[in-house]
């Protein structure tokens, strides 16, 4: 499949790299890009050989938000009918395989929200995160007020959303928004190495681990721990558990088949 606003590659076995590619607009998310992103996510979901996704932009911008030029003249009714962000966002939120965001440069507005919908963010030293929608007379619209607050806490979320200030990579790491910060020329290498490790694990165990960490945001501690115990037990139904443990005992590399 070829896309106009994305570059989709397979840099290594099991890893799909989706690069947002509207450099002239700092990867602003317009309806075409979001439509194509939805199609790329559908294709990756159906393809059993894909075990981990990486979502990235350019060195200058992961994405500078939704396309303001496309949105500016829309009415309430237009926005309701078009609802142009929701389809791709739902697909990303419900994507069952792991997705890593590799963020360099600007991740603003919908760009920051898109990065936060991924399972974790690895950032370059030049990354800048922000929810500057207040400057445009609007609010974040695709989870920014909710996810940013859960990830960095109320004080920083209020500060960023109400003043529109950006958070640099070092602050984002201190605040827990990103898992690691690396030099810009090492970003892709680092992220692809992490994605390669994930792709080498049992895809069933990966899916369950992802589901369990996500549950921590949706349930009480008691319910989450009970769910973890039940899913842990259920992993013993898979061949991959036998293979993983046998490989450890036999001092060899496991060969996970996803069964
Ligand atoms: N939209 C459209 N074009 C953009 C853009 C954007 N968000 N951001 C940058 N560009 C374009 C610029 O207009 C410029 O184009 P030309 O003028 O060359 O044609 C080009 O990219 C380069 O940008 P600059 O010349 O401004 O570059 P600078 O280095 O000077 O500044 C900047 C970089 C990132 C600080 C600046 O471009 C900037 O402030 N950009 C806007 C950031 C922003 O406000 N982002 C939030 C957008 S609102 C929805 C849910 C959610 C949303 C929408 C709908 N629904 C549920 C339906 C989300 C809304 C948002 O994200």
> Is any atom of ligand 1 closer than 6 Å to the C-beta of 106?
yes
In the structure, what pLDDT confidence band is assigned to residue 1 with cuts at 50, 70 and 90? confident
**Which of the 8 DSSP states describes residue 66?**
B
In the structure, what pLDDT confidence band is assigned to residue 146 with cuts at 50, 70 and 90? very high
Q: How many CA atoms lie less than 13 Å away from 104 in the CB half-sphere? A: 18
* Cross-strand pairs, 122: 102, 180
Contacts of 178 (CB under 8 A, 6+ apart): 103, 120, 121, 122, 123, 127, 169, 172
Q: Average of pLDDT values for 75-93?
A: 92
Can you give the pLDDT at residue 82?
A: 86
Q: Tell me the pLDDT tens digit for each residue of 209-250.
A: 999 999 999 999 999 999 999 999 999 999 999 999 999 999
Q: Tell me the pLDDT tens digit for each residue of 204-217.
A: 999 999 999 999 99
Burial of 251 (0-12, 13-18, 19+ CB in 10 A): exposed
Mean pLDDT score across all residues of the chain = 97
CA-to-CA distance for 154 and 134, rounded, in angstroms?
17
Structure tokens at 144: 């920014």
Atom 28 of ligand 1 has which residue's CA nearest to it? Answer: 26
> Is any atom of ligand 1 closer than 6 Å to the C-beta of 130?
no
Atom 53 of ligand 1 has which residue's CA nearest to it? Answer: 66
For residue 253, pLDDT over 90 is answered with yes
- Cα–Cα distance list, 131 to 38, 79, 100, 178 (Å): 23, 19, 20, 16
Burial of 217 (0-12, 13-18, 19+ CB in 10 A): exposed
CA-to-CA distance for 143 and 140, rounded, in angstroms?
7
Can you give the pLDDT at residue 84?
A: 82
> Is any atom of ligand 1 closer than 6 Å to the C-beta of 68?
yes
Q: Tell me the pLDDT tens digit for each residue of 155-185.
A: 999 999 999 999 999 999 999 999 999 999 9
């Amino acid at each position: 499949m070829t896309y106009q606003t994305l570059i989709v590659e397979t840099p290594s076995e099991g890893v799909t790299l989706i690069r947002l590619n509207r450099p002239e607009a700092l990867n602003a998310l317009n309806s075409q890009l979001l439509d194509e992103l939805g199609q790329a996510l559908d294709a990756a979901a159906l393809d059993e050989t894909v075990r981990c996704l990486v979502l990235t932009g350019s060195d200058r911008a992961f994405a500078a938000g939704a396309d303001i030029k496309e949105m500016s003249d829309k009415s309430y009714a237009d926005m309701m009918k078009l609802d142009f962000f929701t389809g791709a966002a739902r697909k990303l939120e419900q994507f069952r395989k792991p997705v890593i965001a590799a963020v360099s440069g600007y991740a603003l507005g919908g760009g920051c929200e898109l990065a936060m919908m991924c399972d974790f963010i690895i950032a370059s030293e030049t990354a800048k995160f922000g929810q500057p929608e207040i400057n445009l007379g609007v609010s974040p619209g695709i989870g920014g007020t909710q996810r940013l607050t859960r990830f960095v806490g109320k004080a920083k979320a209020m500060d960023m959303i109400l003043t529109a200030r950006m958070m640099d990579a070092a602050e984002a790491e201190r605040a827990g928004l990103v898992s690691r910060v690396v030099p810009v020329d090492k970003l892709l290498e680092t992220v692809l190495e992490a994605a390669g490790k994930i792709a080498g694990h049992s895809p069933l165990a990966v899916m369950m681990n992802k589901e369990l960490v996500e549950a921590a945001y949706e349930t009480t501690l008691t319910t989450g721990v009970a769910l973890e115990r039940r899913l842990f037990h259920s992993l013993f139904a898979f061949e991959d558990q036998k293979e993983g443990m046998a490989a450890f005992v036999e001092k060899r590399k496991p060969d996970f088949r996803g069964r």
